[in-house]
Each structure stands twice: as C-alpha cells, then as structure tokens.
Structure 1
Amino acid sequence: MFRSRRAGLVRRLWRHRCATLGPEDGHGALKPAAHALFKKLKDEELELLVQAVESRGAGQSGCVWVARAELRGIKQALPPQVLLCRLYRWPDLRHPHELKRLSCCQSFWGWGGCGEGATLCCNPHHLSRLAMPETPPPPYSRISPFSCPWPEPESGCSAHGDWQDASVSRSAARDGCWCKLAYWEHRTRVGRLYAVHEASVNIFCELPQGSGFSLGQLQAERRSQAVRRARSKIGRGLLLSRERAGVWAYNRSEHPIFVSSPTLGPPGARSLPVHKVLPGYSLQVFDYERVAGLAGWRKPGDGPCDPHSVRISFAKGWGPCYSRQFVTSCPCWLEILLSTPR
C-alpha cells in the first residue's frame, strides 16, 4: 500500500515536469537521477514536493529536506536543487551559482546545519534565478548582483516631481519599519503607505493564499483601461526582502517587472537605467554600502535627491527607449521608500 502510494506521488511529479525538456533530459540523464533522488526523500518530503510542484509556488510550500550524506550515494553531476529546478522550472539551468535561495526557505537562515547530519532544502520554488546581463543593454538590462556597478542617482524631483516624498524614509525609521510602500497608478497614489516591519513582504494583486500588501484591496475612483490591463498582469506580484547587504526583489508573477534604483547602473550615467526582471528571477534592487556615497548628490538643475528609494513598474517599462519616458507614465507601479540607516 505504502509502496503504491509513493509510486503514485512519483508519477504525479513526473507529469508536471517542464514541457520544454528534450528527450535527452526527460528520458536520459535527468530521469534516473530524479528517481534516485525521490527514493532518498521521506514520504512527507515527497508529499511536500508534490504540493509545491502542483501549485507552482502559489502557496506557502514547506521545505523539502534531503540529507547531504544520503546524496553521496546518488551518481549524478547535478546537485538536487539544480536537478529539480531543471525538471520543474528552468530546463536551461546548468550551475548552482545561477540560483538564489529565497528568504522564505529555512536553508536561507542556516537551518539544516553542517556536517554528517546536515540537511538541504531542495524545494524548487524556494529558489530563484539570478538576473544576468543582457546584450545589448538598451533599453533595459538584467544584471548580476556579483558585478553591478553603482551609478549617480536620478533626482527625486523629476519632471513629474509631485510624487516623491523624501521625508517618508526618515519618518519610517522613527516608526520602526525598514521601508514603506506606496502604490501608484500613473501620477496618482492609491491607498495609504504600507509599513513593512518583517524581513520580507509579498506584494500581490489578488491571491487566495498568503499575506502581505494586497493591491487588489486598494480602491480608486476611476481606472483607465490601461490600468486595468496592467493590474490583471500583477498576479502573484513580487517578494521584497531585506537581507544583509541590501534589498532583493523576486518576481513571482507571470510577467516581467521593471526596476530603477540609485544603486543600479554604470558610473557616470546621466540617468538611472531601468532593469527588466523576468518571472522567476531575483535582483538586488538596493545596496546599503553603495548608497553611502550618494548623500547630498544633486543633478544639475534639479533639487536634492533622496537616494533611499526604489521604483518598480508592473509589466510596463519606461525610459528613453520607451514611449513612456517617466515612471509616472506607467499604469501600475510601486515606490519603495527605505528607512535611512541610523
């Protein structure tokens, strides 16, 4: 009975593998390695993996633990997290360093230990892909956090300077939160500021499970067709997390997000570049160390800049190579107002 139940779980897992897997991956190297890994998983771990794969990460799936010592008996070149990510998320994935563990994973916080009794979470939806450089760079680029240079910032008082509130980051520090979120539709802010106290927060439109900043609950007097179309693409939105070196954004939706931050872009840039982050990818959108050199910076002809803010647009980009020149031309966008470090 138990053997047939495990076999049924494995069949369900194999049905949900990526449709784009080629014959050499699906029935060659990956299938024997995957079955060998499934045998090493306990029944409860196998059930958690099935839940995560079938929900495609929509819910709060638990960690799928596998003992590191058990993996020594598996003859495969790929680590388990890479193997499962190739099977269920990114068939073109090759190396572990292309992945970033999400803050919702217990392995991110060091759980599992080290040594003979150590375990590792291999839930593919507890991992994201690192945004990598794109060629050519204009009109946007996906960059790697390992080598991202830092730029001169864009002024907080742009041609549409009616939306920037440089005092929010200072007031946020007094409130005990590490950032406040403002949701905008074009040039109109919708709803109140959302204070973030936890280390991470989900920003989404309408989701049956999970908690965080629900944009679907924010009511506006009237919405254009463009705003409604953009809102329909937000879906699961993004995961925003404060980590040791800075702030990361993980795109949980099925459409790209576009990011502009004072700590992204090449030195000497006349304006801030806008970076495209594809679904399933993570990008470090703010660097605490690099922002230290931006205090007091002024752009010629503009007022003082608040370097502690990040702008993220859902589904639509902006900038010199777009019809939308400013973020305030985007139908739906988010302003992250970070607390000034003490």
Structure 2
Amino acid sequence: MFRSKRSTLVKRLWKNRIIHNETAGKNESDEELELKSIIHSMLKRLKEKNLEILVQSVETKGGEDTPCVLLPSGEMKLGKRSVPPHYVCCQIWRWQDLTPTSPLRQLPSCQTVNDSAYTCCNPYHWSIEQNIDLPPVPNFEQLDLDDHAKISEDVWSQNHVMECVSTETGFTPSPRQDLSDLSEETSDVQNGHHHWCTVAYWELRQRMGRLYTVHNPHVNIFQSLPHGDGLSLELLQEKSELDSVRRTREKIGFGVILSRERGGVWLYNRSLYPVFVNSPMLDIPNSRTSVVIKVSPGYSMKIFDYEYAFVMKQVYERQFLDGPYDPTSIRVSFAKGWGPSYHRQFVTSCPCWIEILLNVHR
C-alpha cells in the first residue's frame, strides 16, 4: 500500500528529532511516546504545504530561507506542563534540554514578531536569548559638572565627525556623521537612506577584501549558505597556508545575522560553533581588559545598546586607553576566543573575525 505524502512528511519530521541517546530512538520510553502523540496531534493541524516547509527547515538545519509555519497562539499540554507550540517544536528539533524558563527570541526574518493571534512554529526562526550583566552606569549626579560638560562637548558635540579606526590595527578608516535623533536614524535606515554599519573581515592581522556596507535592517554573514544573500566571506578569502585559518573557515558555516533593531544591535549565531564578542558596552569603564562573551550556537545576544553606549561614552577616561578607541566598534571572532580566559590575548590572534563599525547618529 502506498504511503500518503502527508504521512511521509510527518515520518520524516519525527525521524529528524533531536535524540541524545541512540538506543532511546529504538526503544521509545513512555515520555517519548507521549511526546510523539503530542507532535503528531500538532502536525495534523498543519496543511501539507506547511509540513513541506517544516521538513525543509529541519532537514537543512535552517540553511534554507523558509517562511513561517503558523499555528494559533495558545498552550499545549506537555506532561504536567502547559507550553506554547513553538516551544514544543524548538525542544523537538533544536534543543532537547530547553526549559520553560529559557527566553526564546525570534530571528529578524520571522514575520510574526508582533502577531498576538498566531505563533510561528518554524524552529529555525527562533533563538535562545543570552542575557548578560552590563557594567554599572555611574551616577551623573556624582560627576563634576564642569568635567561632565567638557566631556560632552569634546566627545559628543554637534558637528563633531568621528574617524572610525580599527581599535586593534588602526587600518580601517570609515567616515562618521554627526549625531542626530535616534528615531530619524531608524526611519532613514529602514528607508535605505544611509548605511547603519560597515563590516570588515579579518584573518589574523590581515584584512580580507573590501569593506561591506549594510543598508538593510539585518544581514547574513556566512561562509556557506545554500540560498541566502548578504556577506559571503568565502568570496573575500584567499588561499591560506595556515592550518588554523583553514580549519576555522570550515567552522563558520551559516555564520551570524547582524540585526539593527529598536534601541540596539543584535547578533544571532546560526553556525554550529560558538562565536566570541567584544563590544564597548560590555567593557568595564576605565579598565584595560576587554570583556569577551561567548555566544553558543543557536543563541542570540544584544551586542550594542545605543542609549547605554551614549551614557558610558561620556564617563570613559581616555588616559586609561593604550591605543585607538572607537565606542562604536564591535569585534566578533568565529570559533576562537581571546582575552584573559584564552591563550590568545588579542583578537588579531584569532584566525577569522569581523569588525563591525556602527554608523551612529544621535
């Protein structure tokens, strides 16, 4: 008897679920059988076209640009817990150890961010939001008003044009415009009037290729992506004799998404390996040590907050800085960390990394 297309799609989805123990896949436990029943019940509510989208997303591990798979908002019974359907999908096909308290965040390509009636059940439209503790903001009331005024005038004055220089090499010039209203900037970026950031790709201390300017609200930065637009690092790379560089290139994979969202910039790690981030808003004021944060595969993190960065910029004491400093420059290393916790002390010792130069208007 021929199997229907629908049942074949459902079987493929169940086969691609996350299994930590191979023997568990052969001998299904009571919990596994209950989960199977819940998933099959949920999949019955989807049309065949949506099942095909789900299969494509799961089998390519998010490599293909697939649309949303919608289900009415609401909760489903999972054992003694009540959880939304997208949580069930993420637990089945992304993170088996996902907990109900895990903060999930939609990727910028997802179209249901502000939809209260429906929720997207495409598991590769979601990420786990990584929470970070920002350094404390000094109390402005305790600052000397004359010093405060001087810093504000010198650093953030109107008609002041900042020359963006690589904080590590000093080799990456990029023009800056004076500060203007943030809401106007958001509108301009969305309308494509000007770029909101420039990306430089580096291998160790050598910059590869030209600078890449970003006009769209979000951009893919990747080594290999089946069908996707954005910055392909492979096109910038030259033949390398270094094993460390070649091995790291292979680990970039689907890379990251940079997204300009309300109030800040977010990074979404789509690769199978962690990325490491250093941003001005992560650093402790007046400290010589850069703070580097590890962002695991499938996680997302806010890497720049415009309001926070504006405040912190005014309290930095420049005499503590050993070299060029740019308050709007972010560094992201693929697969390899650097800093006090790693044997690489500087980002320029990392095989493959990008420098994000924000075009900030205030």
TM bucket by the smaller chain? 0.7 to 0.9
Corresponding residue of 1:129:
128
**From 118, 134, 150, the counterpart of 1:148:** 134
Between the aligned residues of both structures, percent identity stands at: 46
Instruction: Answer yes or no: is the 8 Å Cα contact 1:9–1:50 preserved in 2.
Output: yes
> Which segment drifts farther, 44-53 or 92-101?
92-101
Inter-partner Cα distance in structure 2 for 1:88 and 1:25:
19
Q: Which residues in structure 2 correspond to 1:115-126 (within 5 Å)?
A: 118-126=117-125
Matched, 1:308 2:328: yes
Q: Say what the alpha-carbon RMSD is for the aligned residues.
A: 2.9
Inter-partner Cα distance in structure 1 for 2:343 and 2:291:
15
Instruction: Answer yes or no: is the 8 Å Cα contact 2:285–2:312 preserved in 1.
Output: no
Q: 1:306 to 1:150 in 2, by over 3 A?
A: farther
Instruction: Answer yes or no: is the 8 Å Cα contact 2:166–2:326 preserved in 1.
Output: no
In structure 2, what residue type is equivalent to 1:308? T
Structure 2 portions without partners, runs of 5+: 139-163, 179-184
1:149, CA displacement in angstroms?
Answer: 3.5
1:149-173 Cα offsets, whole Å, 9 max, x none, are 4689xx9776x543454x44449x9
SS at match of 1:107: coil
Matched, 1:43 2:29: no
Asked which structure has the greater RCO (Cα within 8 Å, sep 6+), the reply is 1
Instruction: Answer yes or no: is the 8 Å Cα contact 1:17–1:88 preserved in 2.
Output: yes
Which has the higher Rg, Structure 1 or Structure 2? 2
Q: Which residues in structure 2 correspond to 1:215-234 (within 5 Å)?
A: 215-220=233-238, 222-234=240-252
Matched, 1:259 2:277: yes
Inter-partner Cα distance in structure 1 for 2:336 and 2:16:
30
TM-score, normalised on structure 1?
0.83
Inter-partner Cα distance in structure 2 for 1:86 and 1:253:
18
Q: Which residues in structure 2 correspond to 1:79-158 (within 5 Å)?
A: 79-95=84-100, 97-108=102-113, 110=114, 113-114=115-116, 118-131=117-130, 144-145=131-132, 147-149=133-135
Structure 1 portions without partners, runs of 5+: 132-143
Matched, 1:319 2:339: yes
Instruction: Answer yes or no: is the 8 Å Cα contact 2:223–2:253 preserved in 1.
Output: yes
Q: 1:291 to 1:5 in 2, by over 3 A?
A: same
Inter-partner Cα distance in structure 1 for 2:213 and 2:30:
46
Corresponding residue of 1:64:
69
Matched residue count? 316
Matched, 1:15 2:15: yes
SS at match of 2:210: coil
Instruction: Answer yes or no: is the 8 Å Cα contact 1:151–1:268 preserved in 2.
Output: no
1:291, CA displacement in angstroms?
Answer: 0.5
Q: Which residues in structure 2 correspond to 1:282-297 (within 5 Å)?
A: 282-295=300-313, 297=316
Instruction: Answer yes or no: is the 8 Å Cα contact 1:169–1:180 preserved in 2.
Output: no
In structure 2, what residue type is equivalent to 1:94? T
